[in-house]
């Protein structure tokens, strides 16, 4: 299950994001979104966990938690519709 993590402190690193979710189970990948021109964090990222139960537990525990001075928001990431998707 892919999770969207928003309202991250701009100082939060990908390693810190990974460490935040690691206690809940295996992490398939962790990606902090960076600004291509400045190289600074945009304040959000994605974590994908292979087991939906682990991802739901992480979402429940970490949503609205204060991390590095920011109250983060964790929710299931919505799949972007592809070019052939008519929705």
What are the φ and ψ backbone dihedral angles of 39, each rounded to 5 degrees? Answer: 80, 5
The pLDDT, as a whole number, for residue 23 is 98
Label residue 83 by pLDDT band (50, 70, 90).
low
Q: Is the pTM of this model over 0.85?
A: yes
Residue-wise pLDDT for 4-33, tens only, equals: 999 999 999 999 999 999 999 999 999 999
In the chain, the domains with their CATH numbers are 2-72 (3.30.70.330)
Closest CA to 46 of 36, 37, 54, 55: 55
Residue 80 pLDDT: 72
pLDDT digits (tens, 9 = 90+) for 30-55: 999 999 999 999 999 999 999 999 99
């Amino acid at each position: 299950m892919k999770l969207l993590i928003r309202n991250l402190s701009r100082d939060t690193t990908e390693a810190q994001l990974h460490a935040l979710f690691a206690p809940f189970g295996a992490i398939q990948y962790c990606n902090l979104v960076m600004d291509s021109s400045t190289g600074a964090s945009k304040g959000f990222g994605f974590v994908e966990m292979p087991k939906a139960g682990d991802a739901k537990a992480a979402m429940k525990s970490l949503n609205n938690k204060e991390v590095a001075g920011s109250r983060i928001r964790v929710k299931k990431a919505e799949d972007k519709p592809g070019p052939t998707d008519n929705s």
